[in-house]
Structures are given as C-alpha cells and as structure tokens.
C-alpha cells in the first residue's frame, strides 16, 4: 500500500513538472512570437510609410507644375491629332488662337495638362498613377472611382488627406493618396461657371504608387527576422527541455529522501529557478556564436577586399556581408540582450523570497549618497538635479534597500519631461513607529487608473522605454518582506511621488 501511495505521489510531482515546463514553453513561445510579430509589424509599417512618402512627393511635384500652368493663366500649344481644343473650356475667352502664319493653338489648363502627363506615364509603363477628379467634374471622364468619391466626401468634412493600400491593376497593391484641390483666384478663369468661390474644395488629386518594390524589400527583411527569431526560439526551447530533465531528476531525489513537500508555491519557485538557471547556457552560447560570426564576417570582408575577383561579384558579396548579415547579427544581438535582461530580472525576483534578510540600522542619507554616485552618469546625461533632505534611519537589509531606492530614482530619471529641467527630491519623516520615505519627481506622471497596475509583474506603461517591467514589482516584494508598504501618488503631467513605509 505504501508503494502505491509513493507511486501516486511521484506521478503527481511528474505531472506538475511537465505542466510547469509546458507553461514555460508557452511563455517562451509567446514571447518570441510577440517580439517577432512586433518587428514584422514595424517592417510593414516602414514599407507603407516609405510608399506614402513617395506618393506625397509625386503629389507635390504634380501640384507645382499645375501651379506653374495656373500662374501663367494656362499655356497655348499647337493643335494636333492628340491635342484638340478642350470642349469643356469653350466658355473661356481666347481658348483658341491662330497665328499670322495660320498656325492654330489651343489653351491647355492645369487639368488638361495633368491628364495628358498621366496618360504619357501610363503608356511608358511608369508604376505610378495620377488622377484629377471632382464630384462635379467639367469632363465626365474625370469622374471619381468609388475610393476617390469617398475621399472627396471626407474633404467636404474638413479632412486634409486620405491614404490607404488598395488593389488596382492586375490585383497588385498600390499606395493611394489623395488631397483636396482648393479654389484659388487663378482657378476661376476655367471654373467660375461652375459656381466655385475662392477657398472652396473644387475636387482632388489622387496619386497611386506601386507597392511591389517596398513589399519585396520588406519580405526579405521579414524572412531574415523570422529566421533569427526561429534560431533563438529553438535554442531557448532546448534550454527549457534540459531544465525539465533536471527538474525530473530533482523530483526523484525528493521522493527518495522520504520527506514531504513543504509547500506547492515554494516548489514551483524552485523549479522555475532551476529552469531559468539552465536557460542561461543557451543565452551565453548565442552571444558567443554571434561574436564569433561577427569576427568571421570582418575577416571574410578583409579577405574579399584583398582578392582579385570581378567587381560585380565583390560588390554583391560585400553587400551581403555589410547589409544582410550585419543586420541579422544586430537583430540577434539586440533580442538576446532583451532575453538576457529578462533572465537576470527573473533571477533577481525569485531570489527575493529565499535570500536571508540581514537586518541592521541604516543611515539613509549615506545610503542615498552611494546611490546618487552610482547613477552620476545617468543624472549628467539627463541634466537632472537630485535633492536629498535629512532622512530618518531605518532597520532593514542594506543591499535590499539599495535595490529599492535605486529602482525608484532610476525610474524617476527615465520618465522625466524633456522640455522641463528634471528635479528629483528624496525626503522622509517618522510617523506611528514607521519611517516613511518619498521619492518625488516632476516627470510625465501616471494616470490614477494605473497606480495599482505599475507594481504588477512585467507591467510597463511605456513600451518604448528600456526595461522589462520588473523594477517596481521587486520594490514591492522587498518592502513587503520588511513588513512595510509602497504606494504612489501621481497625475499625468504633474510628476509622481513614490512612498515607502518601513517599520522602525
């Protein structure tokens, strides 16, 4: 009977180990997929932005030559088979002229000129399209397509620009951008009969730029990114599997020792600690391999420079080294650093529960002086000023108090407002057998609905700021281990005050 219960107990432990490892694998996979997805999203956005910039440049060019034409009141060109008098300008005086030698000329207004230029570009196979249109066009062929019609209605509401990616010819993606044309004094020569006044929205000019060059470039970057993240995911997965195997050995040792488990939470933390420890090995390996690969890349580049090979092959090889491989290495290094920071942060967090507290009376002004010295370069870079008032002593673990107030002051430095000189004030007082300390800044502040969330694990208000979201969680864990509490008072744009209360 005892053996049966032992086997059941062992099975439960083994299931717990497997379940927890699967949880870590899920977390690792979500983390890698999330980072990859974020990078891929940014690459696609960059491609879209590049196409939009090109579309705006095309629009600005079209607008300037239209204005040139308009500033001259239109231009006269010889009448040809392709350039016939515009029937929609019949109301314009002197639309047609005949010279003394019997040459016939006709007036070309901005719209007529733009249409002819766009037709020439289409015939030449240039991958951009332009169209001048209106909800009330002089020429029926200038009527808007459905996308342009919606944009023109938006212009009537005051919208200044409409853009989106649409499929136009042969199912290919184009960046479409459209802006309104505003009636100016010189426009009335041709459009006064339609009832327009100066300042009215007369219509719009749409431009379309083929997206394939940007998409091809983006797809290459996405392939490179996906490969790099795939390698990192596989290495991390290998580390987790190794960790699970060590967990299994640990459970076997616990079973044979014939002792009960002291608590499920502490066991899970022990298992997580072992797994995180094993994860360190693949991280170090990735960093080492990246360094070796970078060194080899420089050697290969030097070797190519010294070789007698054709210029095109040398240029292609150097381009692969300097652009593709170098960018992949940069991404691998950057993301490994993020994982390394997460790894170190989790280790610090887990160690808080098991680290023995060495309680002593601490002279807090001396402690703060040491912290400000260690942050001197950051303080100098931000141009901030730190003011420390006379602080009451407390009885606590010195190293942990260093962590608490280093986190709080470093956070204050991160979230200062660039347009204001940064000021960080540290003050303190005694109240009801507690020493209470306040770290106050004049930074960006925190909205009240986030005051509790910021102390939760991995919570970050601003994803653009460096860090993994463990700092304030560690602060809270340390303070609570000392029997104290931590809280924040803050408003957006008015800075923040973080309070730490410790029993005397």
Alpha-carbon gap, residue 94 to 108, rounded angstroms: 12
Given a cut of 90, whether residue 100 has pLDDT beyond it is no
Lowest mean pLDDT among 52-56, 316-320, 337-341, 413-417: 337-341
Three-state secondary-structure class, residue 127? coil
Q: What is the pLDDT of residue 8?
A: 40
Average pLDDT score over residue span 213-239:
85
Average pLDDT, the chain: 76
Q: What is the pLDDT of residue 124?
A: 64
Alpha-carbon gap, residue 220 to 47, rounded angstroms: 12
Q: What is the pLDDT of residue 142?
A: 78
Q: 121-158: per-residue pLDDT in tens?
A: 777 666 677 788 888 777 777 788 899 999 999 988 88
Handedness of CA 452, 454, 458, 464 (dihedral sign): positive
Please report, in angstroms and rounded to a whole number, the separation of the first and last CA atoms in the chain. 54
Average pLDDT score over residue span 288-310:
64
Q: 411-443: per-residue pLDDT in tens?
A: 899 888 888 889 999 999 999 889 999 999 999
Alpha-carbon gap, residue 176 to 161, rounded angstroms: 11
DSSP 138-191: SSGGGPPPHHHHHHHHHHHTT---EEEEEE-STT-EEEEEEEEEEP-GGGHHHH
Higher model confidence: residue 100 or residue 299?
100
Alpha-carbon gap, residue 414 to 446, rounded angstroms: 13
Task: Scan for tokens 């997580």, then name that residue.
Answer: 272
Q: What is the pLDDT of residue 276?
A: 55
Quick one: pLDDT band at residue 327, thresholds 50, 70, 90?
Answer: low
Average pLDDT score over residue span 158-175:
87
Q: 230-289: per-residue pLDDT in tens?
A: 888 888 788 777 766 765 665 565 455 443 373 444 444 554 555 555 555 555 656 665
Q: Residues 388, 372: contact at Cβ < 8 Å?
A: yes
CA–CA distances in Å: residue 55 to residues 165, 206, 443? 11, 9, 39
Average pLDDT score over residue span 403-416:
90
Q: What is the pLDDT of residue 46?
A: 85
Q: What is the pLDDT of residue 116?
A: 78
User: How far does Cα 12 stand from its chain's mean position?
Assistant: 43
Q: 432-479: per-residue pLDDT in tens?
A: 889 999 999 999 988 888 877 777 754 555 444 454 456 788 888 889
Q: Which of 97-111, 120-134, 257-271, 301-315 has the highest mean pLDDT?
A: 97-111
Q: 10 Å Cβ neighbour count for 11?
A: 10
Average pLDDT score over residue span 313-339:
64
Alpha-carbon gap, residue 443 to 440, rounded angstroms: 9
Long-range contacts of 456-462, Cβ-Cβ distance < 8 Å, separation of 24 or more: 457/349, 462/415
Q: Residues 406, 371: contact at Cβ < 8 Å?
A: yes
Task: Scan for tokens 């432990």, then name that residue.
Answer: 13
Q: What is the pLDDT of residue 91?
A: 73
Higher model confidence: residue 427 or residue 399?
427
What is the arrangement of strands in the sheet containing 128-133, beginning at the earlier edge strand? 128-133, 201-210, 173-182, 162-167
Average pLDDT score over residue span 22-42:
80
Given a cut of 90, whether residue 394 has pLDDT beyond it is yes
Nearest to residue 328, comparing CAs of 235, 224, 222? Answer: 224
Give percent of the chain above pLDDT 70.
Answer: 66
Alpha-carbon gap, residue 215 to 462, rounded angstroms: 30
DSSP E strands, 36-133: 75-78, 96-98, 104-108, 128-133
Q: Which two tokens stand for residue 252?
A: 């076997």
Q: 43-92: per-residue pLDDT in tens?
A: 888 888 888 888 888 888 877 877 787 778 788 889 888 888 888 777 77
- Whole-model pTM? 0.41
Q: 173-202: per-residue pLDDT in tens?
A: 889 999 988 766 655 555 555 555 666 677
Give percent of the chain above pLDDT 90.
Answer: 17
Given a cut of 90, whether residue 392 has pLDDT beyond it is yes
């Amino acid at each position: 009977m005892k053996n049966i219960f032992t086997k059941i107990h062992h099975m439960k432990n083994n299931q717990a180990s497997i379940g927890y490892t699967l949880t870590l694998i899920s977390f690792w996979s979500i983390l890698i997929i999330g980072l990859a997805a974020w990078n891929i999203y940014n690459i696609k956005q960059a491609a879209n932005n590049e196409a939009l910039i090109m579309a705006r440049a095309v629009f600005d060019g079209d607008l300037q030559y239209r204005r040139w034409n308009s500033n001259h009141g239109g231009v006269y060109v010889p009448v040809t088979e392709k350039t016939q008098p515009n029937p929609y300008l019949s109301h314009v005086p002197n639309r047609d002229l005949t010279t003394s030698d019997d040459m016939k000329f006709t007036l070309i207004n901005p719209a007529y000129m733009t249409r002819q230029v766009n037709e020439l570009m289409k015939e030449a196979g240039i991958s951009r399209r332009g169209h001048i249109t209106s909800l009330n066009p002089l020429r029926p062929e200038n009527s808007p397509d459905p996308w342009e019609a919606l944009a023109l209605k938006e212009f009537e509401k005051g919208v200044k620009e409409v853009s989106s990616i649409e499929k136009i010819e042969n199912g290919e993606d184009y960046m479409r951008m459209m802006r309104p044309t505003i009636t100016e004094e010189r426009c009335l020569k041709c459009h006064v009969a339609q009832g327009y006044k100066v300042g009215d929205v007369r219509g719009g000019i749409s431009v379309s730029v083929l997206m394939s060059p940007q998409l091809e470039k983006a797809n290459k970057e996405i392939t490179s990114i996906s490969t790099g993240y795939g390698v990192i995911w596989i290495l991390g997965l290998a580390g987790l599997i190794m960790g699970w195997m060590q967990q299994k050995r640990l459970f076997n040792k616990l079973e044979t020792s014939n002792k009960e488990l002291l608590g499920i939470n502490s066991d899970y933390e022990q298992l997580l600690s072992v797994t995180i420890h094993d994860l360190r090995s693949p991280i170090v390996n990735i960093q080492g391999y990246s360094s070796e690969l970078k060194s080899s890349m420089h050697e290969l580049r030097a070797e190519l420079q010294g070789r007698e090979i054709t210029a095109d092959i040398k240029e292609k090889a150097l381009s692969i080294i300097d652009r593709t491989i170098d960018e992949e290495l940069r991404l691998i290094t950057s993301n490994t650093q993020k994982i390394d920071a997460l790894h170190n942060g989790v280790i610090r967090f887990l160690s808080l529960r098991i680290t023995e507290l060495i309680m002593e009376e601490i002279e807090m002004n001396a402690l703060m002086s040491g912290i400000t010295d260690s942050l001197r370069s950051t303080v100098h870079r931000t141009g901030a000023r730190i003011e420390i008032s006379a602080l009451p002593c407390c009885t606590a673990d010195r190293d942990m108090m260093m962590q608490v107030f280093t986190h709080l002051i470093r956070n204050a430095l991160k979230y200062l407002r660039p347009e204001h000189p940064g000021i960080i004030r540290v003050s303190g007082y005694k109240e009801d057998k507690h020493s209470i300390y306040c770290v106050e800044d004049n930074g960006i502040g925190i909205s009240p609905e986030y005051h509790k969330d910021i102390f939760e694990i991995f919570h970050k208000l601003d994803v653009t700021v460096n860090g993994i979201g463990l700092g304030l969680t560690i602060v809270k864990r340390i303070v609570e281990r000392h029997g104290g509490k931590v809280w924040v008072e803050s408003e957006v744009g008015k800075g923040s005050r973080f309070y730490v209360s410790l029993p005397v």
